[in-house]
Structure 1
Amino acid sequence: MPEQIKQTRKLIRHLTREVKIWKDLRHPNVLEFIGYAIVGERSDIKGILVSRWCANGNLMQYLRAHPDSSRTFLVYGMANGLHYLHSHKPAVIHGDLKPENVLISDQGEAQLCDFGLSRALNELSTGAQTTSTMLGYTIRYSSYEVLIEEAKTVFSDVYAFGCTSIQAGVS
């Protein structure tokens, strides 16, 4: 029984952190948060975050289905969404930007999603903006400081953005 309680508390902490960050984000290039639900009972509890359905799928799925679409437009949308996150008060580091975490809206716009590894940063008096990781990132899209120092920064999101843009065919 104590293990079930521990897992439930861990789920609630993770869900709460993601909801706290995502719920206040409002931008055309950030997937809209609609709500959440906790379903199940006892040892089978699941947290569900609710957003709009993006029938176009993620960035790579969309590009395979629509090879003539404007890759520059999609990358521009990702850049706008990332700029919004980094300019937000407090600033938000996405922490796991990759093609799978960029959904395409019904209007064909890139929307950043999956804020499970995101962190809100309080500006430090030194001006440095970093946060330690929680062993949660995708190595292929991770910058040096994430891999070696296990610290996420605004620059680690920019590095991941560059990798995602190249994978989308824009260089």
Structure 2
Amino acid sequence: MLINLFISFLKIGLFSFGGGYAALPLIQEEVVNLHHWLSLSEFNDLITISQMTPGPIAINSATFVGTRIAGFPGALAATFGCVLPSSIIVGGISYFYNKYKDLDAMTNILNFLRPAIVSMILIAGISILQTAFFDVKAISLANMDWIMLAIFIISLFTMFKSKIDPIKIMLFCGLLYLVTNFLFY
């Protein structure tokens, strides 16, 4: 199990260019679809927990999944697997970037990677929205969580139109969801 955790998160760490949000589809594929270590609902909880705790989302996710599957040794294996490729790649890239940063080829490579990274982040966002607003089994207006949609719109509008601290908005939205669930369910 430790080797499976290490290899799964090694793959995630190796191919998650663009940061934690870009890694979310890869984490979902490995953890939910391929190995069935978490359900889709648990995966969304994982994202929420990883967002609320300090540190990069991919590393927090690796630690969470590793702990859930194999305790402390699992957390170490998954986290090390996630971090190892980045450490090696960043070391190599920093050397070559400093040496060749003025070459057109370097600029072209970076320009080529940007759209792929944006699309991975968009896919992760769409996946999170689907599981937040709809029943996991079916996406239709009949399965829409209208309270969650309303809270999302309120928080989105508040974040764009005010300078309120995002943490306060998150706390308010969480409290609002608890109150509405208590009143309507």
Q: With the length of structure 2 as denominator, give the TM-score of the two structures.
A: 0.27
- More strand as a share of residues: 1
Compare CA radii of gyration and give the structure with the larger one.
Answer: 2
- More helix as a share of residues: 2
Q: With the length of structure 1 as denominator, give the TM-score of the two structures.
A: 0.29
